[in-house]
């Protein structure tokens, strides 16, 4: 059975229509932050186990950016929201 993602704009679609683009929980440093803060932001990433929010792009559909909350162990999707409308502090 194929993995399916429920796009808030297109409905249920196969995961192959999407591109995972990275951690949706990262906070961008201030423009005047030191080089250590920028190095950490650009190069260092956690590899979480369990529920995690990620940016996904519906590249073969509506082309919207989404925030997908999924379990990195089971790959089960727990929620999907439009990234332009979501507040990162709120659940997806």
Which tens digits make up the pLDDT trace of 18-60? 999 989 988 899 999 999 999 999 999 888 899 999 999 999 9
Decide if 88 is inside a domain.
no
CATH number of the domain enclosing 11: 3.30.2270.10
pLDDT band, very low/low/confident/very high, at 87 (cuts 50, 70, 90): low
Number of domains the chain is built from: 1
DSSP secondary structure letter of residue 67: E
* pLDDT above 90: residue 3: no
pTM of the predicted structure, to 2 decimals: 0.80
With a pLDDT cut of 90, the percent of the chain lying above it is: 71
Within-domain flag for 47 = yes
Within a domain: residue 55?
yes
Is the per-residue pLDDT at 11 higher than 80?
yes
Q: Is residue 87 part of a domain?
A: no
- Vertex 41: Cα angle to 24 and 28 (nearest 5): 60
Structural domain that includes position 24: 4-28+36-82
Is the residue at 90 inside a domain? no
- pLDDT at residue number 46: 83
**Three-state SS across 3-61?**
CEEEECCCEEEEHHHCEEEEECCCCCCCCCCCHHHHHHHHHCCCCCCCEEEEEEECCCC
The secondary element (H helix, E strand) that includes residue 66 is: strand 65-71
């Amino acid at each position: 059975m194929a993995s399916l993602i429920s796009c808030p704009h297109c409905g249920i679609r196969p995961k192959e229509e999407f591109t995972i683009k990275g951690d949706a929980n990262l906070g961008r440093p201030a423009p005047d932050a030191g080089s250590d803060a920028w190095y950490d932001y650009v190069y260092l990433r956690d590899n979480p186990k369990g529920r995690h929010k990620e940016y996904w792009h519906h590249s073969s559909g509506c082309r919207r950016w989404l925030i997908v909350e999924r379990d990195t162990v089971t790959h089960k999707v727990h929620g999907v929201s439009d990234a332009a409308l979501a507040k990162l502090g709120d659940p997806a």
